């Protein structure tokens, strides 16, 4: 056995060098992510506002006839879906129908303060839209995206999905990268549990926008192939926060490592002196 005097010498700087490299990488990741977050918020401030824009909400007082007609058409559509599965069944909803639905239907109450439908074009529902957004983390600041939005209707996974295709802010330019990161609006997670609406969502095979109308349809043999992936629901802001958290955890781990290392060295020095 080699004596302690002949044991190979180990450099005390090797471990420290590795730790310093890891610490430098962690600091770099945090710095880049923080810079990206700050720059992102500066760009968002250019096309958002400090207050929400007022929306033109439908007047429902004195509109009992229109509301009753909408309710009757929806009920006939549901009855056709449930009782005549071998037949093609569809309903056409106008701009007024959609606004009345937003104003009066309980499952849509969460969207009522933020949308006012203006037009239905081929492939898109056009609406005035105000979207609340958080400012810099920890600032408590609120920003509002006040825009005309073009929503592409898609039937996916027993849900009515509206993907943000375009955003128009008067006098401003909204980057395409920002639009691409806005998660789609998905109606149906809670509606699937509803005894009235759940069977409707389960049996639909298509949803499409034509000039002046949004069409919901069940056609025997027609299969909806559309899906909305989790990546579309994710956002750049979330990914930046993940990097920041990873960087902080890495630095915390390094701090703990150095603390335990220093404590062990003190204990060895105390043992050598005793």
Q: Which residue has the tokens 């700087």?
A: 13
* Residues 115-152 pLDDT 10s: 999 999 999 999 999 999 876 666 678 889 999 999 99
With 0-12 / 13-18 / 19 or more C-beta atoms within 10 angstroms meaning exposed / middle / buried, residue 29 is: middle
pLDDT for the residue 99: 95
CA 39/CA 146 separation, integer angstroms = 20
pTM over 0.85: no
* Residues 49-66 pLDDT 10s: 989 999 988 889 999 999
Q: Rounded to the nearest 5 degrees, what angle is found at the Cα of 206, between the Cα atoms of 203 and 209?
A: 140
* Residues 260-270 pLDDT 10s: 666 666 766 66
Which one, of 133, 173, 154, lies nearest residue 232 by Cα? 154
Mean per-residue pLDDT for 229-238? 47
Tell me the pairing of strands 89-93 and 206-210: unpaired
Tokens of 88: 């093609």
Which one, of 22, 34, 213, lies nearest residue 125 by Cα? 213
């Amino acid at each position: 056995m080699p004596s302690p005097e002949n044991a190979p010498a180990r450099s005390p700087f090797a471990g420290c060098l590795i730790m310093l490299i890891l610490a430098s990488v962690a600091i770099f990741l945090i710095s880049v992510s923080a810079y990206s977050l700050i720059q992102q918020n500066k760009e968002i401030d250019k096309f958002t506002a400090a207050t929400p824009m007022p929306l033109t909400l439908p007047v429902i007082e004195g509109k009992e006839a229109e509301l009753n007609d909408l309710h009757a058409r929806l009920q006939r559509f549901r009855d056709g879906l449930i009782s005549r599965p071998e037949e093609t069944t569809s309903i056409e909803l106008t701009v007024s129908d959609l606004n009345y639905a937003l104003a009066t239907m309980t499952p849509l109450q969460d969207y009522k303060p933020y949308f006012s439908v203006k037009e239905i074009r081929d492939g898109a529902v056009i609406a005035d839209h105000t979207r609340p957004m958080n400012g810099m983390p920890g600032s408590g600041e609120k920003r509002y995206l006040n825009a005309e939005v073009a929503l592409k209707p898609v039937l996916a996974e027993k849900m009515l999905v509206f993907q943000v295709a375009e955003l128009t802010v008067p006098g401003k330019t909204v980057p395409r990268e920002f639009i691409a990161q806005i998660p789609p609006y998905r109606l149906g997670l809670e509606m699937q549990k509803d005894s009235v609406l759940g069977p409707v969502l389960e049996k639909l095979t298509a949803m499409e926008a034509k000039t002046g109308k949004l069409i919901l349809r069940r056609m025997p043999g027609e299969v909806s192939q559309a899906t909305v992936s989790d990546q579309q629901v994710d956002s750049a802001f979330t990914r930046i926060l993940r990097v920041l958290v990873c960087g902080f955890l890495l630095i915390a781990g390094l701090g703990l490592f150095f603390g335990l290392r220093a404590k062990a060295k003190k204990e060895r020095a105390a043992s050598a002196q005793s």
